[in-house]
Amino acid sequence: MSKEGSILSTSLQNKSVVENIIDKIISAIIAGELAPGDQLPTEIELCRDLGVGRNSVREAIKKLEAYGVVYIKRAEGTFVSETYSQKMLDPMLYGLILQKKSWGDLIGLRSVIDIGTLHVAMSRELDEEDREEFHRILEEMERSLKKESPSVDEIIDVDMRFHMAIARATKNEPVVNITEYITRITLPSRNATVRRILETPGETENFLELHRQMVEIIEKKDYSRVDEVVMDHYVYWKESK
């Protein structure tokens, strides 16, 4: 890695020293200065190039290791991770938890993710396996909703699996991972939604129909209805804060 013009050789400003070191290393990875599997400069080199103390460098590396961005080999050094780790998204999840009082923002985030996911899923040829899974889950959802004493937990579980199935149909791992995190952070609202649906006459069929419509637009590649179907789906969710 060339030192001239390197992100890792520029000065730090504004944020805390540790946060800045983390930003510099991540920026170097994004820019391609550090590739997966590459060894990071040594502590001494980072201290010299960034003009920081060794304790700050060690703390930054510890955090990056906790995020799954780097890993340490004893007696060899610190390396950029070569494989995805789910803990890489943990900081984003915690950020969403801390910000969930901004309910409108969270609704907006989920709508962007869901609309985008449907577009990506429709841009691909739908596998027969994906098609069968959609309909299998829909049938399971219908059975769960029509039980004499429906289980809230059971319905939430099948609803979450439905949305994860759509994410998997994109064949895009980052979409799947982000969808899983959004699903986790919205669990309380899903619980409130399902309880209200079960208590309101006629709403179970409408809830089921909204899921059928999602499958229908994917199968027909009906891009014109994506926004409408997603926002109709949120009629319940908006009221569940």
| 2-18 tens-digit pLDDT | 455 565 655 555 468 99
Going from the C-alpha of 119 to that of each of 85, 135, 218, the distances in angstroms are 26, 19, 8
DSSP letters, 62-97, are HHHHHHTSEEEETTTEEEE-SS--GGGGHHHHHHHH
Paired tokens of 223: 């891009």
Architecture of domain 88-237: Up-down Bundle (1.20)
User: Which residues, in sequence order, are CB contacts of 165 under 8 Å at separation 6+?
Assistant: 130, 133, 134, 137
Average pLDDT rounded to a whole number, residues 45-65: 93
Under 8 Å between Cβ of 190 and 152: no
Give the whole-angstrom CA distance, residue 139 versus residue 147. Answer: 13
What are the residue ranges spanned by the domains of the chain?
Answer: 7-83, 88-237
Give the whole-angstrom CA distance, residue 135 versus residue 143. Answer: 12
pLDDT band with cut points at 50, 70 and 90 for residue 189? confident
**Domain 7-83 in this protein, CATH class:** mainly alpha
3-state secondary structure of 204: helix
Under 8 Å between Cβ of 47 and 82: no
Under 8 Å between Cβ of 69 and 85: no
Give the whole-angstrom CA distance, residue 68 versus residue 81. Answer: 7
Positive or negative: CA dihedral 15, 16, 22, 24: positive
Nearest alpha-carbon partner for 32 in 2, 76, 58, 70:
2
Give the whole-angstrom CA distance, residue 151 versus residue 194. Answer: 9
Q: Do domains 7-83 and 88-237 have the same CATH topology?
A: no
pLDDT digits (tens, 9 = 90+) for 206-233: 999 999 999 999 999 999 999 999 988 8
pTM: 0.70
pLDDT digits (tens, 9 = 90+) for 69-88: 999 998 899 999 988 776 76
